[in-house]
Amino acid sequence: MSTLIRNGLLCFEDRVEPADLLVRDEAIAEIAPHVTADADEIIDAAGAFVLPGMIDIHTHLADRIGNYDLADDYLSGTRVAVQNGITTVATFITETTDHPLEDAVACALRRAENNCYADHWWHLTPIRYDDAGWEAVERLIAHGFRTWKFYTTYRQAGLYCDYDRLEWILSKLSGRGIRVLLHCEDDDVLASVHLTDDTWQKPLAHALSRPPQAEVIAVREVLRRAERYDVALHIVHVSLPDSLELIADARASVQVTCETCPQYLFLDQTSLQREDGHRWICSPPLRSLYARRALAEMALNGAVDLFATDHCAFTRADKDRCRGHIPDVPNGIAGIGALPHLVYALFAQHRPEPLTEMARYLAANPARLLGTYPRKGVLAQGSDADFSICRAMTDGGPVRSSLADVHETYPGETSRLWFERVFVRGREVVRQNTLLHPEERRGKSVWPT
Ligand SMILES: [Zn+2]
Q: How far is the CA of 242 from the centre of ligand 1 (A)?
A: 20
Task: Find out whether the peptide bond into 284 is cis, omega within 30 degrees of 0.
Answer: yes
- The Cα 415–Cα 392 span in angstroms is 9
Gap from CA of 18 to ligand 1 centroid (Å):
37
User: How far away, in angstroms, is 39 Cα from ligand 1 center?
Assistant: 42
CA of 60 from ligand 1 middle (Å) equals 6
State the distance from the centre of ligand 1 to the C-alpha of 151, rounded, in angstroms: 10
- Whole-number Å distance, alpha carbon 16 to ligand 1 midpoint, is 32
> How far, in Å, from the CA of 253 to the mean position of ligand 1?
26
Q: How far apart are CA 101 and CA 88, in angstroms?
A: 23
Looking only at the bridges linking them, the beta strands covering 86-94 and 54-59 are parallel
Give dist(CA 384, CA 165) in Å, integer: 38
Ligand 1 geometric centre to CA of 57 (Å): 10
**Is domain 53-370 given the CATH code 3.40.50.1820 in the classification?**
no
Distance 159 CA to ligand 1 centre (A): 12
Taking the C-alpha atoms of residue 148 and residue 109, their distance in angstroms, rounded to an integer, is: 16
Separation in Å, CA 356 to CA 283, 373, 409: 30, 17, 26
- Packing angle, helices 163-173 and 212-226, rounded to 10: 40
- Rounded to the nearest angstrom, the distance between the alpha carbon of 344 and the centre of ligand 1 is 22
> Which is it for the CA torsion 102, 103, 108, 111, positive or negative?
positive
Residue-by-residue pLDDT tens, the chain, 449 positions: 999 999 999 999 999 999 999 999 999 999 999 999 999 999 999 999 999 999 999 999 999 998 999 999 999 999 999 999 999 999 999 999 999 999 999 999 999 999 999 999 999 999 999 999 999 999 999 999 999 999 999 998 899 999 999 999 999 999 999 999 999 999 999 999 999 999 999 999 999 999 999 999 999 999 999 999 999 999 999 999 999 999 999 999 999 999 999 999 999 999 999 999 999 999 999 999 999 999 999 999 999 999 999 999 999 999 999 999 999 999 999 999 999 999 999 999 999 999 999 999 999 999 999 999 999 999 999 999 999 999 999 888 999 999 999 999 999 999 999 999 999 999 999 999 999 999 999 999 998 77
Answering whether pTM is above 0.95, one says yes
State in Å: Cα 72 to ligand 1 middle: 14
Phi, psi of 84 (to 5 degrees): -120, 25
Residue 184 to residue 235: CA distance in whole angstroms = 7
Q: For residue 223, report the distance from its CA to the centre of ligand 1, in Å.
A: 20
CA–CA distances in Å: residue 276 to residues 264, 279, 332:
18, 6, 15
